[in-house]
Amino acid sequence: MSKESYDVIVIGSGPGGYVCAIRCAQLGLKTACVEKRDTLGGTCLNVGCIPSKALLQASEKYEEAEKHLQAFGVKTGNVSLDLKTMMKHKDDVVGSNTQGIEYLFKKNKIDWLKGEGTIEAKGKVKVGKTTYEAKHIVIATGSDVVSLPNIEIDEKQIVSSTGALELTKVPKKLAVIGGGVIGLEMGCVWSRLGAEVTVIEFLDRILPGMDGEISKEAQKILKKQGLNFKLKTKVLEAKTSKSGVKLKLEAAAGGDAETLDVDTVLVAIGRKAFTDKLGLEKVGVKTDERGRVEVDHKFKTNVDGIYAIGDVIAGPMLAHKAEDEGVILAEMLDGQSGHIDYNLIPGVVYTWPEVANVGKTEEQLKEEGVAYKVGKFPFSANGRARAMNATDGFVKIIADAKTDKVLGGHIIGPEAGTLISEIVTVMEFGGASEDIARICHAHPTLEEAIKEAALAVDKRPLHI
């Protein structure tokens, strides 16, 4: 095989692409990964999951020191914010993670082809002036920010999530357009650091797609923490001036327009598949009505030898979904078989308390006409949560009315993102709520709330 010839070329080094490349290399395939950014790791490591979690963690500590430690008998004196150091913490975390991928590429002998990759023809990828050959091409080019037609993102006064991770001072007033995952996570960061945050959501609820009861509870708790919500509201226009941004709002059902004056606006209304300059039209790779690359259950596009994974195809735009697709595709290219149960991909919102879900919501089951039972248990009745002063929220388990098989798990509460994995595991094994109820859970742990919710499915919780 010549220097310019590979078994697999992956375009994009996000969690889908870099994981796929590592698994291909582990399986003995000669692998290269094309990345146009200066660092590896894609949206997730550079401007997504990792920096946002670094700021969420840091702002949580700030708020804890400012407001919550006193109740534990810890006197802190005057707490003040050093935003520069907080941002350095975030940048350091991003740096160590992206360099980590570079190390993994070297360790696995994966070539990083630096630059923008264009598919020239079947089996040919051009990067810079060189055309490389590959038996298999994997498109893992991810997603990009969506903007509103009448609102231009300048990443200064009107920012996307990328700009919201880089603000150099805390805005006095921040408007967040979109009450989804990014809006709530970044809204919480800046609210904890002192901004007055107003979330403007087009629908009648935040976190659409999550179980209705959970999203209501999330709104109640976040409101208590100081976030303002304007639901069923449209943003008609945004006028920037030296003094800030004037938003014109209108109730979604019509009615009088009102204005909102803020310093900064975060636009977080979803993301779109990114395929710019990839050359898809030239080679005839089909995309759907939302610009996502169309694939079959083996991640094959309509063109032989070209595959796609991650945010650029349909499904939840989540890093772990992209990673799992990357591994399975690599194993399929090696002649193995693989399968993902898309119903069992957990979703987590890293607010405090966290929100986590897996499987079906009550709303979905009603629509599907499936008979179900529900068990709930509040963290206010959990000893460990009381010891942590973190009693907001509850665990909700939904099981089939006849078979007791677990159909969904929904948690709002401390460490919900970690706790959900127990329910995911039980569901992967086709388990019932009775199984969770019979498993010995250590005491005193937050996990006991899951056991109690499972007991509650059968109307026999012990501690409430």
Tell me which stretch binds ligand NAI (CB under 6 A): 6-14, 24-32, 64-72, 313-321: 313-321
Residue 196 class from Cβ within 10 Å (0-12 exposed, 13-18 middle, 19+ buried)? middle
From ligand FAD, ligand NAI, none, interface partner of 447 (C-beta below 5 to 8 A by class): none
**Among residues 23, 24, 29, 52, the one that binds ligand FAD under rule CB under 6 A:** 52
**Among residues 10, 11, 138, 167, the one that binds ligand FAD under rule CB under 6 A:** 11
Catalytic residue among 89, 320, 441, 443: 443
143 binds ligand FAD (CB under 6 A): yes
Residue type, 355: V
To the nearest whole angstrom, how small is the minimum distance from the Cβ of residue 264 to ligand NAI? 16
**Among residues 111, 185, 323, 448, the one that binds ligand NAI under rule CB under 6 A:** 185
To the nearest whole angstrom, how small is the minimum distance from the Cβ of residue 410 to ligand NAI? 15
To the nearest whole angstrom, how small is the minimum distance from the Cβ of residue 31 to ligand NAI? 27
410 binds ligand NAI (CB under 6 A): no
Residue 368 class from Cβ within 10 Å (0-12 exposed, 13-18 middle, 19+ buried)? exposed
Q: Which is nearer to ligand NAI, 49 or 127 (CB)?
A: 49
Tell me which stretch binds ligand NAI (CB under 6 A): 54-62, 82-90, 123-131, 314-322: 314-322
| Token code pair at residue 439 | 């498993």
31 binds ligand FAD (CB under 6 A): no
317 binds ligand FAD (CB under 6 A): yes
Question: What is the size of the binding site for ligand NAI (CB under 6 A)?
Answer: 25
412 binds ligand NAI (CB under 6 A): no
To the nearest whole angstrom, how small is the minimum distance from the Cβ of residue 363 to ligand NAI? 15
278 near 117, Cβ under 8 Å?
yes
The three-state DSSP-derived secondary structure of the chain is CCCCEEEEEEECCCHHHHHHHHHHHHCCCCEEEEECCCCCCHHHHHHCHHHHHHHHHHHHHHHHHHHHHHHHCCCCCCCCCCHHHHHHHHHHHHHHHHHHHHHHHHHCCCEEEECCEEEEECCEEEECCEEEEEEEEEECCCEEECCCCCCCCCCCCEECHHHHCCCCCCCCEEEEECCCHHHHHHHHHHHHCCCEEEEECCCCCCCCCCCHHHHHHHHHHHHHCCCEEECCEEEEEEEEECCEEEEEEEECCCCCEEEEEECEEEECCCEEECCCCCCHHHHCCCECCCCCECCCCCCECCCCCEEECHHHCCCCCCHHHHHHHHHHHHHHHCCCCCCCCHHHCCEEECCCCEEEEEECCHHHHHHHCCCEEEEEEEHHHCHHHHHCCCCCCEEEEEEECCCCEEEEEEEEECCHHHHHHHHHHHHHCCCEHHHHHHCCCCCCCCCHHHHHHHHHHCCCCCCC
**Among residues 201, 311, 415, 448, the one that binds ligand FAD under rule CB under 6 A:** 311
Tell me which stretch binds ligand FAD (CB under 6 A): 47-55, 247-255, 335-343, 359-367: 47-55
**Among residues 41, 42, 163, 183, the one that binds ligand NAI under rule CB under 6 A:** 183
178 binds ligand NAI (CB under 6 A): yes
321 binds ligand NAI (CB under 6 A): no
User: Known catalytic residue: 443?
Assistant: yes
Tell me which stretch binds ligand NAI (CB under 6 A): 16-24, 196-204, 324-332, 440-448: 196-204
To the nearest whole angstrom, how small is the minimum distance from the Cβ of residue 270 to ligand NAI? 4
From ligand NAI, ligand FAD, none, interface partner of 179 (C-beta below 5 to 8 A by class): ligand NAI
327 binds ligand FAD (CB under 6 A): no
45 binds ligand NAI (CB under 6 A): no
59 binds ligand FAD (CB under 6 A): no
Residues 6+ positions from 96 with CB-CB distance below 8 Å? none
**Among residues 8, 17, 24, 177, the one that binds ligand FAD under rule CB under 6 A:** 17
**247-266: contacts with ligand FAD (CB under 6 A):** none
Catalytic residues: 443
Please give the residue ranges that form the binding site for ligand NAI (CB under 6 A): 148, 177-183, 185, 200-203, 208, 235, 268-271, 316-318, 348-350
